[in-house]
Structure 1
Amino acid sequence: MENLLYEKVNENIGILKINRAKYMNSLNKETLNELDIFLDEIEKDKNLHVLIISGEGEKAFVAGADIKQMKAMNCVEAMRFSKLGNKVFKKIENLQKVVIGAINGYCLGGGLELALACDIRIGNEKSKFAQPEVGLGIIPGFGATQRLSNVVGISKAKEMIYTGDMIGSKEALRIGILNKIEEDPIKESIEMANKIIKKAPIAVKQAKKAINFAYNKNLCTDYEVECFSTCFSTTDQKEGMSAFDEKRKANFLNK
């Protein structure tokens, strides 16, 4: 696969990296399709108990969805893109393995949505988090309108999504996005994985299923997909993404 790197630490632990460091590991359709196929394959590996997800390079875990690719999308194309992202992240959330996000650097937009689909998240001092989509004339489209409030509470989720403000690792730890801050998130993730694989594997799987059952009771990503795609019929989306591409401030008031 062109956009993913995968290696096994041992037969029970694997590390998956988004391999688009040149583009801050942003998620395009091709990467999401590769992830979709990869997750189906990894589910068949009965020896694998823990999957660690990270980003290639030191700058970014995932710095969002690919805005250059999204810029020209119409409502129908945006709906397909949102459905694909939600489908892939639901697979991560419900994978019959423990999934640990090793957050190295920027974790923005679709990157934070990917991290929220993981069971556990470990960052470092350089980790930065945001849902900046409203600055582009759209809303989060890969699950954040649903999952973020489950993690940080509805008021904090609204604040992060409405303002698009970026927060650092200490604030992310305080509000529950991060479980830990460590110098080397992948090394710490491997150490945690080694603790997990020593426990009864069936019990761990059943615990994940039971926790997710309650957690996902009110999850409604289908409605998010509808709201996300509607944004692509607006002048706000055209202005927001054009401004990003042209490296200028968006002017929504006069549109």
Structure 2
Amino acid sequence: MEYDISDKIVAITGAGRGLGRALALGLARHGARVAVLTLEQDQAEETAAELAAVTDADHVHTACVDVADEEQVRDAVAALDQRWGRVDALVNNAAFMPAMTPVVDVDIALVRKVIDVNLIGYFITTKYFAPLMVRGGGGRIVNISSMIGVQANPGQSAYAASKAGVNILTNVVHREMADQGIRTVALAPGLTDTPGMRAIASDEYIERVASAYPGGRIGQPDDVVEFVAFLCSDAAQHLSGTLLPIRPVTG
């Protein structure tokens, strides 16, 4: 199937490192204009510098945004609207993954942080980006979820709960806004090799998971890029309100 996202305007949260940065670079290579939304200024600058090697500087927009801060998100959307006048797709990718901890030992303050970033943040970005998309005739919201949101995994109660919430939010937004041209999909990768994952997962755990995956390896950020490019294209017009699991493949 052919798909085209050339000149589509795609906003990506958490685009300063890991999967978000890979998505920014991959979609730019497909011809999209990319808005890099990330928490840290240095990460925004590093991603923008990498993007300069694959796309025109006029096709890159950066903003430092805490997705759990409604005022910051509102201001970032307003600035993006002022610059480009529309947004065609939002990729909700920003996430926080804490160390594995049994539920009876969790720090509730840490649980609140996970929910704030991984779920409340998706509510806030959807609240402000969706009307801009509707004004432009419609758009796509791709929520990066996780297989942990559909499969129980000991030690990851907070992260799993946040991603399960993302899955339901995706369907609710579809039911509320599909007739206004908004298409929503939750994309659920398996274990993916990112700095955030490496910081909390042991080598033994990574090796054990990899042994059960096709090809004997965990996922790489680039494995997700083509899925997201397809979902941001017109070829995915009839796909909305659903969850798409991803498993790593050999290659």
Q: Structure 1-normalised TM-score?
A: 0.33
Q: Structure 2-normalised TM-score?
A: 0.33
